[in-house]
Amino acid sequence: MLTSIKTNNFDGCKSKELGMMYFRVAIVLFGAQLIMGLIAAIQFVVPGFLFEILDFSVARMVHINALVIWMLYAMIGSVYYLMPDETGIETVGIGIGKLAFWVLTLAVSIVVLVYIFVQVGAGTEFSIWFIHEGREYLEAPRWADIGITIVVLTFYANVFLTFMKGKRTGIMMVLVADLMALSGLYLAGMFFTDNISMDQFWWWWVIHLWVEATWEVFVGALAAYALIKILGAKREIVEMWLWIEVLMLFGSGILGLGHHYFWIGTPEYWWEIGALFSALEPVPLVAMFVHVFYDWGKENGIAIAKGEKPTEMKNSPAITWILLNAFGNFLGAGVWGFFHTLPQVNIYTHGTQFTAAHGHLAFFGAYATILIAMMYIGLQGAHGIEKLKSTFSSKMAAILISFGVMGMTIALTTAGYEQILVERAELGATWNAYFTAQNLPWYIQAQAWRAVMGVITLIGFVFLVWDMLNIDKRKTQKI
């Protein structure tokens, strides 16, 4: 079984091997994320759990940092994986790419160990440089920030130079432009200021312009690649759609940033700008949904017409996760995002469990899903399997993880609803109002359900890893 971890059957294609290295670390970090999330979730229900041993702040910091990092790993892995297919050539700087991988992985390990074992520092610059920065999602200490920047620069140089040398497809063009914006934005989150309004102003430049602009475009490009690769969709049409998606995503997402500037000290004009543009953000998500399902249906139809079984796609687990992505992106980001994006609503929902509900479904639906699909595409290539079929465990993984995350989202939405009505609308968000809402029986019940659904998610994850480790059992399907 464990041989499957090391199998790399790419006929010497080094870029794909490098991609697989990133995928492997990503899946491990995904597991760490879930365990830390569960610890934090239990602390909501059992207040004394690991108190002053591994406090909520520590568990949560590792939870969301592992999330961001595993996604970045899987994104880098995806690019290294698809680049040879798109450009038609080997990636130019494999040696430096491998070095960057090891440097990054070493740095990430040190950072996580410091998070867990050092936890907090004194109120000095030293803590910011060497322990953590204490800014949600961007906690990485300054030394690691600089390290990450260098590693990302080498990655980007690799992508850019390979693009220049090889075939310049539309997908590569979008990726090259998008990755530049994505890396550049990280710099906006790297400075210290005493002014908390200024701090959060730039903090959102990174967080929002990542997840609601550059990452979404990235996903559009991945979906385009996957549709061509596993469904055999026609490139011209897929790439035309991709440009339309870029237009709509950036057209709404860039100024949609305003929906985070309602209450942090910034002027009132953001109410209108933020409301208008962020309300448009679901439109491209609907378009992406329609696009993927349309192509899927069409290629299925063509297969049936040819007398093949429609389920015999080249990679059914990947297709499953891509369909989940199209739907989850629309639901988690589009629908749950729209729920609270107008200032009239957001004044009450801002910073409640409702935000957490949206955060979970959006990150899962928009990103976790498609990155898992990319891992399956990678595994298929690594094992040289012509048609990768779904298995019992691959289906259980998709069902349990989706059900678990959806369940957590519904539980958190319920909890959020109670919190909004009681703490925010009725009592006015004081310390006492906060705990009055936290102690409502139905709120507590919802938090308990979230923990239960978290366990289900974790079981699904175990199935996922099991399935991925046993990929080589499907060798019989090899050509």
Partner 1 sequence: MENENASVWSSVRFWRRSAGWVTGVSAMLLIFLTFDSVGQITMGTDDDLKNKITKRVPAPTVINYHIDYKMSQKRGHEVPVIGEKELFFGKNWSEEEARALLHLGKLTSQAKNCMNCHTLLGNGAYYAPDLTKAWLDPTWETLAEAFGGKEYAISAFLQDPAGMAMHKRRMPNLNITEDEAKGLVAFLKHMSSIDTNGFPRNFSKSVEQFKQGETNAH
Instruction: Give the residues lining the site for ligand HEC (CB under 6 A).
Output: 55-57, 431
Q: Single out the residue of 16, 229, 291, 340 in contact with ligand HEM (rule: CB under 6 A).
A: 340
Residue, CB closest to ligand HEC: 431
Number of residues that this document lists for the chain: 479
Nearer to ligand HEM (CB atom), residue 97 or residue 258: 258
Q: How far is the CB of 139 from ligand HEC (least distance, A)?
A: 12
- Whether residue 60 contacts residue 361, with contact meaning beta carbons closer than 8 Å, is answered with no
Nearer to ligand HEM (CB atom), residue 22 or residue 56: 56
Cβ partners under 8 Å of residue 317, min gap 6: 373, 376, 388, 390, 391, 394, 398, 467
- Alpha-helical segments (H) within 329-430: 336-339, 343-349, 353-362, 369-382, 392-419
Residue 208 interacts with Fe ion (CB under 5 A): yes or no: yes
Residues 162 and 47: their CA atoms lie apart, in Å, by 52
Q: Tell me, by CB under 5 A, how many residues bind Fe ion.
A: 2
Joined together, the tokens standing for residue 411 give: 């539980």
Q: Single out the residue of 359, 378, 381, 460 in contact with ligand HEM (rule: CB under 6 A).
A: 359
Within a 10 A sphere around the Cβ of 197, how many other Cβ atoms? 11
Q: Which does 134 bind (CB under 5 to 8 A by kind): partner 1, ligand HEM, ligand HEC, none?
A: partner 1
Q: Single out the residue of 286, 458, 465, 469 in contact with ligand HEM (rule: CB under 6 A).
A: 458
Using DSSP's 3-state secondary structure scheme, residue 388 falls into strand
Q: How far is the CB of 372 from ligand HEC (least distance, A)?
A: 31
394-453 residues near ligand HEM, rule: CB under 6 A: 405
Q: How far is the CB of 26 from ligand HEM (least distance, A)?
A: 12
Q: Single out the residue of 366, 397, 415, 422 in contact with ligand HEM (rule: CB under 6 A).
A: 366
Phi/psi at 315 (5° precision):
-150, 90
- Whether residue 367 contacts residue 413, with contact meaning beta carbons closer than 8 Å, is answered with no
Q: How far is the CB of 30 from partner 1 (least distance, A)?
A: 20
- Whether residue 105 contacts residue 48, with contact meaning beta carbons closer than 8 Å, is answered with no
Q: What is the DSSP string of 422-471?
A: IIIIIT-S-HHHHHHHHT-HHHHHHHHHHHHHHHHHHHHHHHHHHHHHTG
Residues 280 and 274: their CA atoms lie apart, in Å, by 10
212-231 residues near Fe ion, rule: CB under 5 A: 212
Q: Which does 142 bind (CB under 5 to 8 A by kind): ligand HEC, ligand HEM, Fe ion, none?
A: none
Residue 278 interacts with ligand HEM (CB under 6 A): yes or no: yes
DSSP letter for 306, please. T
Interacting residues toward Fe ion by CB under 5 A: 208, 212
Interacting residues toward ligand HEM by CB under 6 A: 34, 37-38, 40-41, 60, 63-64, 67, 136, 211-212, 216, 259, 278, 281-282, 333-334, 337-338, 340-341, 346, 350-351, 355-356, 358-360, 362-364, 366, 368, 405, 454, 457-458
